[in-house]
C-alpha cells in the first residue's frame, strides 16, 4: 500500500501488527467558550495583579505588501490578498460569525488508530455528523483537540454512534457523560418487578 500511495503508513500499521493494543477512542473533555464584551474572572484577576484598570480596544493587524491608508474606508476582505486567494465570492458572503465555540479533546486509551466519527446534537434537535480521518492521530498519538464552531448550542456529542469502529469501551463515547445502569442494577429491577 505504501508503494501505491507513496505515503509512509508506519504510524498506522505499527499498532495493528506489532502490539496487542485495542480500539478505544473516547471524549476526554469538552470546553465551551463564547464571545463576550466583558472580561472573564481570570482576566480580571490578571488585570488586578498587574495594576491595569481599563482594557484597551483590541487591535487587529494585517500585513500588507504595499501599505496604504485606504484600508479604513474599505472592507477588509477587499484588501486582503490572502483571503481572496482562498475564499470564493459565495463563501465570503455566506460567512457568519459563530456564537458558540467548543474545544473537544478526543483521547485514545486503547492505542489503535481509527477514524473519529462524531455526531453533534444541537439544541433545536438537529444533528450533524463529522468524520475525521485516521491521519488525525499522526502528530499526537494520545489525544487530539478539535475546535468546533457553531451558531447553535451543542447539547450532546456522541462518538461512533453506529458502532463502526469496534470500540470496546463505549462508556467514554458521549458528552455529557451518560451513567449506564450496571448489570446488577438491571437484575435488581427485574427481580423487584
Residues in the chain: 193
Region of poorest pLDDT, from 84-88, 114-118, 148-152: 84-88
Beta-bridge mates of residue 101: 33, 149
- Residue 3 buriedness (CB in 10 A; 0-12 / 13-18 / 19+): exposed
Residue 108's pLDDT is: 94
Mean pLDDT of 90-117: 83
CA distance 68 to 91: 26
Parent domain of 8: 2-192
Label the pairing between strands 143-150 and 26-34: unpaired
- Global confidence as pTM: 0.68
Residue 82's pLDDT is: 60
Ramachandran angles phi, psi of 5, nearest 5°: -90, -15
Instruction: With cut-offs at 50, 70 and 90, classify the pLDDT of residue 5.
Output: confident
Mean pLDDT of 46-61: 69
Look at 4 and 164; give whichever has higher pLDDT. 164
Ramachandran angles phi, psi of 28, nearest 5°: -80, -45
Average pLDDT, the chain: 80
Mean pLDDT of 165-187: 86
Beta-bridge mates of residue 111: 22
Residue 4's pLDDT is: 80
Question: Total domain count for the chain?
Answer: 1
Helix, strand or coil, per DSSP, at residue 90: helix
Mean pLDDT of 86-100: 66
- Tens of pLDDT, residues 58-88: 433 333 444 454 444 555 555 566 656 666 6
User: What element of type H or E holds 5?
Assistant: helix 2-5
Residue 98's pLDDT is: 79
For the chain, state the CA radius of gyration.
23
Residue 129's pLDDT is: 96
Sign of CA dihedral 181, 186, 187, 189: positive
Amino acid at each position: 500500500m505504501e508503494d501505491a500511495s507513496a505515503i509512509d503508513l508506519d504510524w498506522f500499521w505499527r499498532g495493528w501488527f506489532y502490539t496487542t493494543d485495542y480500539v478505544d477512542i473516547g471524549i476526554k473533555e469538552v470546553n465551551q467558550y463564547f464571545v463576550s464584551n466583558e472580561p472573564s474572572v481570570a482576566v480580571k484577576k490578571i488585570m488586578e495583579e498587574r495594576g491595569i484598570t481599563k482594557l484597551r480596544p483590541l487591535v487587529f493587524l494585517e500585513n500588507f505588501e504595499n501599505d496604504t491608508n485606504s484600508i479604513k474606508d474599505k472592507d477588509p476582505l477587499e484588501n486582503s490578498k490572502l483571503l481572496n486567494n482562498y475564499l470564493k465570492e459565495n463563501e465570503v458572503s455566506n460567512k457568519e460569525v459563530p456564537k458558540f465555540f467548543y474545544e473537544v479533546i478526543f483521547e485514545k486509551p486503547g492505542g489503535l488508530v481509527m477514524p473519529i466519527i462524531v455526531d453533534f446534537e444541537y439544541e433545536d434537535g438537529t444533528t450533524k455528523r463529522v468524520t475525521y480521518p485516521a491521519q488525525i492521530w499522526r502528530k499526537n498519538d494520545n489525544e487530539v483537540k478539535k475546535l468546533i464552531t457553531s451558531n447553535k448550542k451543542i447539547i450532546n456529542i456522541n462518538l461512533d454512534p453506529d458502532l463502526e469502529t469496534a470500540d470496546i469501551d463505549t462508556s467514554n463515547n458521549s458528552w455529557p457523560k451518560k451513567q449506564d445502569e450496571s448489570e446488577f442494577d438491571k437484575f435488581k429491577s427485574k427481580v423487584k418487578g
